[in-house]
Amino acid sequence: MKLYAWVENEQLFTTEDKNLAPSNAIELEVESPDDVVYDNGQIRVKTEAEKLEEEKRKKLTELKNYVEQLVKPTDYVIVRIAEAQVRGDEAEVERLRQRYARQLQQREDIRQWNEQMKQAIRNAKTLDELRQIEIRYG
């Protein structure tokens, strides 16, 4: 996409419409307006490495939010066990662990999957490789 970029009062502005850009705007070829940055007094296009790191951060945040939603329905189990531990009732702690063994195992499985996904995201070498990582459990 062709984009026109300029700076006013130390703020970066962009538009795709040449008629809206001032005469001092520079013309750039970019994939997205987000690829343009104002850095050390210069307008420039982000490097591939910068784009990759930014996308990794977004993907890790997406993963974190997704995992939170996966474990949220079983948070009550952890709270009940923690309350029994605070009371020092080890028999109740053990009873709850047995009663909720399936939920606890599911949470552990999700945590392990989460760690594998984080590692896959961090290990991605290209944007295409990163974009192919689908965040879906199960």
Same domain, 58 and 106: yes
Counting residues of the chain whose pLDDT is more than 90, the rounded percentage is 99
Domains in the chain, number: 2
Same domain, 93 and 119: yes
Same domain, 69 and 36: no
Q: Evaluate if residue 66 carries a pLDDT over 90.
A: yes
Place of tokens 């974009």: 131
CA 75 to chain centre: 22
Give strand pairing partners of 44: 37
Q: Is residue 138 in a domain?
A: no
**Rounded distance between C-alpha atoms, residue 53 and residue 122, angstroms:** 9
pLDDT in tens, 43-65: 999 999 999 999 999 999 999 99
pLDDT in tens, 104-114: 999 999 999 99
Same domain, 31 and 68: no
**pLDDT computed for residue 116 by the predictor:** 98
**Of 30, 46, 62, which residue is a domain's last?**
46
Q: Evaluate if residue 98 carries a pLDDT over 90.
A: yes
**pLDDT computed for residue 138 by the predictor:** 85
Nearest to 50 by CA among 68, 59, 37: 37
Same domain, 29 and 62: no
Question: Is the whole-model pTM more than 0.85?
Answer: no
**pLDDT computed for residue 79 by the predictor:** 97
Q: Is residue 8 in a domain?
A: yes
Same domain, 42 and 70: no
Q: Is residue 83 in a domain?
A: yes
Range of the domain at 58: 49-131
